[in-house]
């Protein structure tokens, strides 16, 4: 066998063993109702689906379809369960809009905690084994000042999730540096707590904003620095990386959740970092855009990732 052929065959075998990462998509399709979004992803043959235990099942302009578990009747629950049956894996994205579980106001804090508690219960009921959690942003205060409250609050949800058989994956986006984000995950040693790497949430990290002026965002060295930052998170957290949100990024603005047309994200390098970390999670598409174009966007993205993972 020629050396090149042998290397290719060996690499393919390793790829098949190590990159058994199912590809999925979330139901965040504006203008769709929940059941229409689920049916779209079933028709596109995604084995993984990420649903939103927030919002409403009916189509609402400029709002992602979802549900509030405590407001569903028994018939609605049966209908959602039946719609999710074709998918091999279900994950959820916990509520975050309008919630402040670190508020000094006890009523606001209690409402936020109760909302996420209910969403965790709904996640487990519909068979989700993983739930994505947005850390609470603190726009006017260093996160380290509230570190103990973060750890206590997320630790409480970790205990609740563990009793339900659910893992929690804290999503990148806050705190705003590789060091602080990985410190937050590291401060929560529970086995069912890890990270969701969203490839588009590092643009606000101080690791980049201190080095890349806005006018230089599209330069090759700036794009490489962005991808380096994502890879540093993966390398630091290793097996604590539970989940991945994938999409493209506009190189001029660094606006994320774009269709796969820009080539901004260096997926081959990210996949190599995931290989080294022993990643065993899913890749879940988060793409926005015109509802009428979403089937085409998702089909093109699905085919690109299937080709990469093949």
- Give the pLDDT confidence of 45-95 residue by residue, as tens digits: 999 999 999 999 999 887 889 999 999 999 999 999 999 999 999 999 999
Asked if residue 6 has pLDDT above 50, the reply is no
pTM of the full structure = 0.92
Residue-level pLDDT at 197: 98
Q: Which two tokens stand for residue 89?
A: 């894996």
Q: At what angle do helices 178-186 and 147-164 cross, to 10 degrees?
A: 50
CA distances from 10 to 83, 89, 259, 310 (A): 40, 29, 32, 14
Asked if residue 259 has pLDDT above 50, the reply is yes
Residues sharing a CB contact under 8 Å with residue 278, sequence separation 6 or more, in sequence order = 238, 239
pLDDT digits (tens, 9 = 90+) for 138-179: 888 888 899 999 999 999 999 999 999 999 999 999 999 999
Asked if residue 1 has pLDDT above 60, the reply is no
Residue-level pLDDT at 190: 96
Count of beta carbons in the 10 Å neighbourhood of residue 175: 22
| Helical H segments across 187-292, by residue range | 206-209, 220-237, 267-277
Residue-level pLDDT at 30: 86
Cα–Cα distance, 277 to 165 (Å, whole number): 24
- Structural domains in the chain, CATH included, are 10-24+67-309 (3.20.20.150)
Q: Which two tokens stand for residue 4?
A: 């090149």
Least reliable range by pLDDT among 3-12, 105-114, 133-142, 301-310: 3-12
């Amino acid at each position: 066998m020629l050396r090149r052929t042998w290397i290719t065959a060996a690499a393919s075998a390793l790829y098949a063993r190590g990159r058994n990462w199912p590809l999925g998509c979330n139901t965040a399709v504006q203008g769709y109702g929940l059941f229409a979004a689920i049916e779209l992803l079933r028709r596109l043959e995604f084995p993984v689906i990420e649903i939103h235990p927030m919002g409403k099942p009916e189509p609402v302009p400029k709002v992602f379809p979802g549900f509030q578990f405590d407001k569903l009747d028994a018939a609605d629950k049966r209908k959602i369960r039946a719609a999710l049956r074709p998918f091999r894996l279900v994950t959820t994205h916990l509520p975050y809009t309008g919630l402040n579980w670190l508020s000094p106001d006890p009523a606001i804090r209690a409402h936020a905690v109760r909302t996420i508690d209910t969403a965790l219960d709904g996640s487990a009921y519909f068979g989700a084994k993983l739930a994505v959690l947005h850390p609470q942003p603190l726009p006017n205060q260093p996160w380290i000042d509230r570190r103990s409250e973060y750890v206590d609050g997320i630790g409480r949800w970790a205990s609740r999730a563990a009793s339900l058989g659910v893992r929690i994956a804290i999503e990148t986006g806050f705190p705003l540096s590789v060091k602080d984000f990985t410190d937050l995950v590291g401060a929560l040693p529970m086995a069912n707590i890890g990270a969701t790497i969203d490839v588009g949430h590092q643009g606000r990290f101080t690791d980049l904003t201190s080095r890349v002026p806005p006018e230089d965002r599209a330069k090759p060295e700036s794009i490489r620095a962005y991808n380096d930052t994502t890879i540093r998170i993966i390398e630091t957290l290793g097996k604590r990386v539970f989940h991945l949100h994938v999409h493209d990024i506009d190189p001029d603005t660094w606006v994320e959740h774009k269709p796969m047309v820009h080539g901004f994200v260096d997926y081959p390098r990210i996949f190599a970092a995931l290989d080294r970390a022993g990643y065993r999670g899913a890749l879940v598409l988060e793409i926005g855009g015109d509802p009428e174009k979403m089937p085409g966007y998702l089909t093109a993205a699905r085919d690109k990732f299937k080709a990469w993972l093949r």
